[in-house]
Structure 1
Amino acid sequence: MVNFRNLLLNNLFLKLISLFFAIILWFYITPVVSRDTLEMNYALPLQLKNIPDDMIVTGKVEDHINVRLKGRQSIIRDLDPDELNVSLNLSGAREGARYYTLDHDNLNVPGKVDVVSMNPRKIKIDIVRLMRKEVDVKANISGKPASGYRIKSVSVSPAKIILEGPESEIKKGPLMEDININVSGRRSSFSKEVKVKIPLRNLRILGNDIVIIDVEVERI
């Protein structure tokens, strides 16, 4: 006990000075660490990756995820928002609706950056089976050519297009909007480029969505 007391009191002044400077140093370092930390909010695009070839995502899906990141100022300030995104791997996904929980692994950010929050953290993905169908492209002629002329022929190139989309929508139809060509007052043959329009948003055209309508006009 005496030895411990002597050890404690030995060079007491120097020990008190050391303790004083240690406390000052602690108060000095703590706010520096706090000042060096930065939090920022980002609205990052959501990318759905590796969707099975025979499946398609339908319905409304969040296109952006609000993310709050935290890290050293030098790292956070160097982040380029255009190079950041939230990705969700859908390989092996099955048909039907399912909720996915997002976390740090879904972000392509440096490892020294912490994810404070993500909103929404859970997203609903509805996946249905994909179907393709070949559809005839038809042109509806309206109006009448000039007096003494008539329509000899109407051709469409390509005559068919391939549509791809959810099986339920492919079977439901109608699959494309009518193409209307007005020939009022025409005295000569003409061609017209027309963009094929699809009324159902989950359907898409494989290949070019432009067709050429050739109308041949002849004198009677």
Structure 2
Amino acid sequence: MTSDWIRRAFLENWGLKTISFFIAVLLWLFVVGEKQSDVHMSLPLVLDNLPKSMIVTSNVPNEVSVRVTGPRTIIATMKPSQYRVSLDLQGIKPGTSSYELLASRFGFPRGVRVSDISPSVVTIVADSAGVKELPVKPRLKGLPADGYEVSRIEVVPETVNVIGPEKALKLVRELPTEVIDITGADGGITREVEPLFPGPSFKFEKRTPITLKITLAKIKAQREFIGLPIMKPPEGWSVSPSTVTVRLTGEVEVISQITAKDITVGLSWPLPAGRGGEVVPVKVLLPAGAELVDVLPESVFVKPTN
């Protein structure tokens, strides 16, 4: 019975089996004899499963350089976009960890051999993640147009929450913005600005747009007028002292043209009849465009002369 089985295995359908045998031999010869190809590929390095309580503080390469060898027909179909190198960081602890990049990580087709990996080991330094509220510090450069100055800077929001390495974050006091050039500006500036984090390991706890509003105004100056006379009181009254010092402010081109004759200093008249001496506030009337800073003295003593 055994001999019959052997005879049937080799002799039945011997023509079909012979053809199959020759096809298999030809395929084997094609694969073995096919010209080999050698190619260099740059594959993205991806960090997976990093715990939310941890943060990577070291510089990690974005790509891994790989040299592969294999049959030309297979190599020709391989595209770098089809592959990536993944490191599983689940369970990583504070400190330094090293990960060896083995050929089995790449998932290349059968028949393809990895001849070189650079870097072959990736070292990662991690730290516990911390959160801190930091004030936003705007940065400006340049000078506005002649006759203008920055009168107000508004930042929205004024503070943001930043995530970073716990130890390093304790040393950070503020979050500066990118530099805004105000050279030659003569009007308001409103712009969304980017923050300048202390390092690549820092980021927003929640992405927050930062808007910077810069208000420019014409430069103001101050002038002081000493010994301005108070308007002559009604007959029968005396004022002491009879002169005051007035300090005013305004745009340079406005107040530079003001003279003492343009300023009126007076009191509230009439006073109630039959009363004795009174301390009365001084009133100052200024030309348009000028603002009163102060008047000294603010009040004077008024009394009847009879």
TM-score (norm 2): 0.52
**Conserved in 2, the CA contact under 8 Å of 1:169 and 1:200?**
no
Matched length: 192
The equivalent of 2:45 in structure 1 is 46
**Conserved in 1, the CA contact under 8 Å of 2:45 and 2:62?**
yes
Residues 194-216 of structure 1: per-residue CA shift (max 9 Å, x gap):
32222333212341353222537
Residues 20-71 of structure 1: per-residue CA shift (max 9 Å, x gap):
xxxxxx9xx7686143443322222211111111111112223322212233
Q: Sequence identity of aligned pairs in percent?
A: 25
- RMSD, aligned CA: 3.5
Query: Matched residues in 2 for 1:134 and 1:188: separation?
Result: 32
**Conserved in 1, the CA contact under 8 Å of 2:165 and 2:201?**
yes
Matched, 1:115 2:143: no
Which range moved further: 31-40 or 128-137? Answer: 31-40
Distance 1:129 1:147, change over 3 A: same
Alignment map for 1:62-141 (pairs within 5 Å): 62-139=61-138
Structure richer in helix, relative to its length: 1
Query: What secondary structure does 1:79 align onto?
Result: coil
CA apart distance, 1:182: 7.8
Distance 1:125 1:34, change over 3 A: farther
Query: Matched residues in 1 for 2:149 and 2:171: separation?
Result: 40
CA apart distance, 1:187: 6.6
CA apart distance, 1:184: 8.5
Q: Which amino acid counterpart does residue 211 of structure 1 have in structure 2?
A: T
Query: What secondary structure does 2:176 align onto?
Result: coil
CA apart distance, 1:79: 0.7
**Conserved in 1, the CA contact under 8 Å of 2:139 and 2:177?**
yes
Alignment map for 1:129-208 (pairs within 5 Å): 129-139=128-138, 151=151, 153-177=152-176, 189-205=188-204, 206-208=206-208
**Conserved in 2, the CA contact under 8 Å of 1:194 and 1:213?**
no
Distance 1:36 1:172, change over 3 A: same
Query: Matched residues in 2 for 1:187 and 1:122: separation?
Result: 56
Q: Which amino acid counterpart does residue 64 of structure 1 have in structure 2?
A: E
Distance 1:195 1:32, change over 3 A: closer
Distance 1:109 1:146, change over 3 A: same
The equivalent of 1:213 in structure 2 is 213
Q: Which runs of 5+ in 1 are unaligned?
A: 1-25
Query: Matched residues in 1 for 2:90 and 2:36: separation?
Result: 37
Distance 1:207 1:121, change over 3 A: same
TM-score (norm 1): 0.69
Distance 1:107 1:211, change over 3 A: same
Distance 1:141 1:60, change over 3 A: closer
Whose radius of gyration is greater, 1 or 2?
Answer: 2
Q: Which amino acid counterpart does residue 130 of structure 1 have in structure 2?
A: A
